[in-house]
A and B are shown apart, each in its own frame.
Chain A
Amino acid sequence: MTTSRPTTSFKFRGGSFHALVVKPEAPIDAWLADVDGLLLRSPRFFAGKSVVVDVSELSLTKETFLGLLDELSKREIRILGVEGADRSCFDGRVPSLTRGQTRKSKKAAAPAIQLAAPVPISSLLIDAPVRSGQQIVHPHGDVTVVGSVGSGAEIVAAGSIHVYGTLRGRVMAGAYGNERARIFCRRLEAELMAIDGHYIVADDIESHLRKAPIQAWLEKDSLEITTID
């Protein structure tokens, strides 16, 4: 079974990645000679690596700064970004980077721009019986079934599972790690119920709960079931 999104959403997210940070020292020519020496000993030192150039402790003119970038690219050092370059030097050839800490200190002065709300937790509504052999997997939230879940059918949800009908199949709520997920059904005849990996099979379900409307939740790593009327 597939679900369709009404509109295509553009996703943003923050991420931290490892990059090699090089810190040129004045005088630049001498430092470049050291780099050449390094490349002579290990020619593939920078190969395939993303490099960030930290010039925060140098005072460079625009010409020397661009000259440095040229020298580095001659040596086939791939520059991902530059840190600490003066705004006047920056011609947009490479992105200017800011460290997390720097941004944190500036937070009070300039509040962070909210790029996008986090991807909303979606719930899946199934308006038909879930038949034997069908498997519904929903890694983003709750699953609601308006109808019964047949013997041999299976529902796996990141959140809670609600069945407005008879639950005869297997259901796994909180399957991606959520101990607060619950299972609700109008009539319990399940083969198996699990929350966050803690499961109970039909044989373990007390007889007074069978065929009753119930909810199930997790308490101290044990699956608890109670009737709801």
Chain B
Amino acid sequence: MAHVLVVTSGKGGVGKTTSTAALGAALARGGERVVVIDFDVGLRNLDLLMGAERRVVYDLIHVVQGTAKVSQALIRDKRIDTLFLLAASQTRDKDALTEDGVERVIRELRPFFDWIICDSPAGIERGASLAMRYADSAIVVANAEVSSVRDSDRIIGLLDSTTAKAKHGQQMEKYLLLTRYDAIRAGRGEMLGVEDVLDILCIPLLGIIPESKEVLNASNMGTPVTLSNPASAPARAYSDVARRLKGEEVPLVVPSDKSGLLNKLFGRRAA
């Protein structure tokens, strides 16, 4: 039975879709059966990042509303045959998602996969709420800056109160994925430090993805960064995260800043 993971953040542009694609690909390359679902109905992007935008026939809304079967809507990745995409509709909006429909789609997918990764839209409205509703655990994606961190704090509160798991009195596992981390800027005090973010959010750190132009290159190519350039720093960081998700012990190294000492001498610290 699949483990249902939601990738969420509250704030937009922090790297939810990039992380969904990269983690989905990394898990699938390790032999796991993975389906990634785009919940960003009306503003879909995951299909582009997966390079599947020209192969979408049926989407999540068709399945939710019963006009297509789940098996018809699943798009198999051309590079890894255990990786599947369930695209969002671009012509509809989030109101087309129903609670019963989403629950049914996830229930039907569970027996056939090891991982179901729900890519949440930004915000706290219907799309985001339904993406997290039936999850077993959550990856909270944040950047090391105050607005992203506060939005993530808000999302954690919702994960603890509005999900199906919370309503059954269970605790939802939540992990922090710090993305677009720039060690040099953090060292200069232009970003929050890792410690500052952890101090505010109080959830376990799953990984730190360094800021890198490789991520943008991968998006433009329509290939998850873990496949386009597996040796790059962000790809290695995502692969480590995928291994941690599978339960492996992988040491986590906070990217360090070589000029950090100099800045410390000047006494500049993260706000």
Contact = CB atoms under 8 A, between A and B. Distances in A.
A76 to B, nearest CB: 53
B199 A152 contact: no
Given A150-B150, A152-B150, A131 B199 contact: no
B44 interface: no
Interface string A188-205: 000000000000000000
B198 to A, nearest CB: 12
B243 interface: no
A166 interface: yes
A150 B197 CA distance: 12
A168 B158 CA distance: 18
B154 A168 contact: no
A148 B202 contact: yes
Interface string B128-168: 00000000000000000010001101101110110000000
A133 interface: yes
A129 B159 CA distance: 13
Nearest to A152: B150
Q: Tell me the interface secondary structure of chain B in the complex.
A: helix
A152 B153 CA distance: 9
B14 to A, nearest CB: 15
Nearest to B159: A131
B153 A151 contact: yes
A132 B150 contact: yes
Interface in A85-138: 128-129, 131-134
A54 to B, nearest CB: 57
A147 interface: yes
Contacts of A131: 153-154, 156-157, 160
Q: Tell me the interface secondary structure of chain A in the complex.
A: loop
B264 to A, nearest CB: 19
A4 to B, nearest CB: 12
B200 interface: yes
Contact of A148 (B151, B157, B161, B200): B200
Contacts of A166: 199-200
Given A132-B150, A133-B124, A153-B157, 7 more contacts: A128-B160, A131-B153, A131-B154, A131-B157, A151-B146, A152-B154, A153-B153
Contact of A132 (B154, B161, B199): B154
A168 B202 CA distance: 14
B9 to A, nearest CB: 13
Interface centre among B153, B160, B161, B202 (most CB of A within 10 A): B153
A148 B200 CA distance: 8
B176 to A, nearest CB: 13
A108 B146 CA distance: 67
A132 B153 contact: yes
A114 B254 CA distance: 65
Interface in A146-171: 147-148, 150-153, 166, 168
A168 B160 contact: no
B243 to A, nearest CB: 28
